[in-house]
């Protein structure tokens, strides 16, 4: 019974904190953890980009609704997804977007087709390309948005 109590006491010891030997060794060998550097967005430019994404998503969803059957549940779901993402882009654009909000949004955007565009759906190709280009532009840092310590 005494051994059992000793083991409990031993396992209850706190784990080393960041300033203890592990951190010291990282600093000693030049493996210091980088500090997070805040990024200041060019909010007006980002709002323009969000508007571009919003319009591209709306256009793609409208084309999908107009020219193709909505009897397929997966197709309807994708239309709803693009409409929701367009609404999310509008919400960010109307507020004050942060880097995290913008990245959360654009990482949800996915192409309609990953391979060749099927016959009868060629109108969706350029619209899909515009959606993906708009999302990619939002992923990239703009000149002057680099963080500083």
Q: Is residue 32 part of a domain?
A: no
In a domain, 7, yes or no: no
**Cα 91 to Cα 54: distance, rounded to the nearest angstrom:** 10
Q: What share of the chain is helix, strand, coil (3-state, %, to 5)?
A: 60, 0, 40
Within 10 A of 64 (CB to CB), how many other CB atoms are there?
23
Examine residue 101 and state whether it is found in any structural domain, yes or no: yes
pTM for the predicted model, two decimal places? 0.73
Is residue 49 a contact partner of residue 90, using CB atoms and an 8 Å limit?
A: no
Q: pLDDT-based confidence at 143, cuts 50/70/90?
A: confident
**66 within domain boundaries:** yes
Domain that holds residue 128: 43-139
pLDDT digits (tens, 9 = 90+) for 26-73: 666 665 555 666 778 899 999 999 999 999 999 999 999 987 777 888
With respect to residue 20, please indicate whether it lies within any of the assigned structural domains.
Answer: no
**pLDDT one-digit tens code per residue, 74-132:** 889 999 999 999 999 999 999 999 999 999 999 999 999 999 988 888 999 999 999 99
Whether the CB-CB separation of 121 and 82 falls below 8 Å is answered with: no
Asked if the structure places residue 15 within a domain, the reply is no
Residue whose tokens read 């203890």 = 20
Minimal CA–CA distance to 47: which of 101, 113, 92, 114? 92
Tally of structural domains, the chain: 1
Residue 8 lies in a domain: no
CB 118 within 8 A of CB 13: no
């Amino acid at each position: 019974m005494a051994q059992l109590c000793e083991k409990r006491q031993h396992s209850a010891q706190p784990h080393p904190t960041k300033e203890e030997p592990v951190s010291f060794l990282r600093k000693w060998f030049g493996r210091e953890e980088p500090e997070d550097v805040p990024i200041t967005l060019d909010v007006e430019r980002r709002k323009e980009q969000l508007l571009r994404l919003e319009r591209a998503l709306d256009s793609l969803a409208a084309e999908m609704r107009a020219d193709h059957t909505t009897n397929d549940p997966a197709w309807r779901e994708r239309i709803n997804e693009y409409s929701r993402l367009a609404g999310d882009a509008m919400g960010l654009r109307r507020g004050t977007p942060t880097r995290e909000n913008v990245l959360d949004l654009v990482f949800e955007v996915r192409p309609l087709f990953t391979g060749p565009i099927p016959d009868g759906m060629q109108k969706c190709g350029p619209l899909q390309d515009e959606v993906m280009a708009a999302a990619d532009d939002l992923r990239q840092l703009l000149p002057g948005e680099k963080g500083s310590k």
